[in-house]
Structure 1
Amino acid sequence: MIKYSFHSQLTIEEFKTPFETNLSKENRWVKLSEVIPWDHLAVYYMKTMSTETGRTGVSPQTVIGAMIIKHKLKLSDVETIETIKENPYMQFMLGLSEFQEAPVFDSSLFVTIRRRMSAELFDQFNQEIIKCAEARKDHGHNKRNRDEKGNPKNRGMLKENSDKPKEDTT
């Protein structure tokens, strides 16, 4: 059984840590959590789950975030869970409200998800995750190559050079 309420990400200031410092808004996992379409991806995750029967499952945001971390860092199932245990920024991205030392779920859940979803559905889910990660990467790249008005940098220079006739070197 799965229970899901629409995504409501905490602010980074609301996330509690046992440390005496606040987490940085500039961390890559914090920034990534802001652009992921959590509700859209949750639909793929929940397609094969019952909303009526069974034990309550792990939050879709937690599972989706863990899958993103797994694929982005190219980790094994077990290593993904261990890495998440050690990283408060990743735990924030997964929708937890405070740092915890316990695993977010057993690594065997990755196998269960792959088994439960059809190959086609799993591929769609992965493609959405990849699109999300690529959009984030492209957005950062494009932002660096644009001026303050959003126009591509060096556009004039490229146009200028393309209008010049090529010299004959023969």
Structure 2
Amino acid sequence: MYRSEKKVQALFKDFFHLGTKIHSENKWLRLAGIIPWEKMDEMYGRYFSDYGRPAKDSRLICGLLIVKYIKDLSDEEAIEEFRENPYIQAFCGREYYIPDIQISAGILSERRKRLGKDFFDFLGTEVAKILREQKFIKVKSSRPRKQTLFA
């Protein structure tokens, strides 16, 4: 089962729950503003039934996959980066920074198996194009990447 978590604008979007101001020009916040989250949410929802336990939010999962690819991380490292970095949590759709958020690295592996070729083709073309245009990833790299694009 999947329920889209289309959120209402936060009243205090520039502050975390402890009153800490975040820098609005941070690269993760800028990137969050140009990623086609709604289209990804629609595609993500197709892979779940209308019944049963609700699935994790598409923005969280897609955000983690994007962070994993940009930073060339393992699933475990991507989750650790998410826990440690309030900007990455904001990129992944979290309204408040939660340093001890409980999320298993296994969710990324499970979602890679569940989400179909069309979904990863979309990530590999449209989202990768945005990442290249915004210089979040380089077209040529002397260092081999740990994984192929999002799959």
**What TM bracket, shorter-length normalisation?**
0.7 to 0.9
Specify the alignment match of 1:47 in structure 2. 46
Give distance in 2, aligned partners of 1:2 and 1:93: 20
Match runs of 1:72-91 below 5 Å: 72-91=70-89
Give distance in 2, aligned partners of 1:66 and 1:54: 24
Instruction: Give 1:112 deviation, angstroms.
Output: 1.0
Query: Which runs of 5 or more residues in structure 1 are unaligned?
Result: 139-170
| Over 6 Å off, 4+ runs | none
Q: Which amino acid aligns with 1:48?
A: Y
Q: Give the number of aligned pairs.
A: 135
Question: Compared with structure 1, are the counterparts of its residues 6 and 22 closer, same or farther at alpha carbon in structure 2 (3 Å cutoff)?
Answer: same
More helix by share: 1
Contact 1:12 1:30 in 2 (8 A): no
Give distance in 2, aligned partners of 1:62 and 1:35: 16
Partner-residue secondary structure (3-state), 2:38: helix
Query: Which runs of 5 or more residues in structure 2 are unaligned?
Result: 137-151
Structure 2-normalised TM-score? 0.77
Give distance in 2, aligned partners of 1:6 and 1:97: 12
Specify the alignment match of 2:32 in structure 1. 33
Q: Which amino acid aligns with 1:94?
A: C
Instruction: Give 1:120 deviation, angstroms.
Output: 4.6
Give distance in 2, aligned partners of 1:75 and 1:110: 12
Contact 1:9 1:95 in 2 (8 A): no
Give distance in 2, aligned partners of 1:46 and 1:90: 23
Contact 1:36 1:132 in 2 (8 A): yes
Cα deviations across residues 32-61 of structure 1 (Å, max 9, x unaligned)? 1111111012122222112x2121111111
Specify the alignment match of 1:105 in structure 2. 103
Match runs of 1:88-167 below 5 Å: 88-103=86-101, 105-137=103-135
Contact 1:29 1:89 in 2 (8 A): yes
Instruction: Give 1:26 deviation, angstroms.
Output: 1.2
Structure 1-normalised TM-score? 0.69
Instruction: Give 1:78 deviation, angstroms.
Output: 0.5
Partner-residue secondary structure (3-state), 2:33: helix
The Cα RMSD (Å) is: 2.2
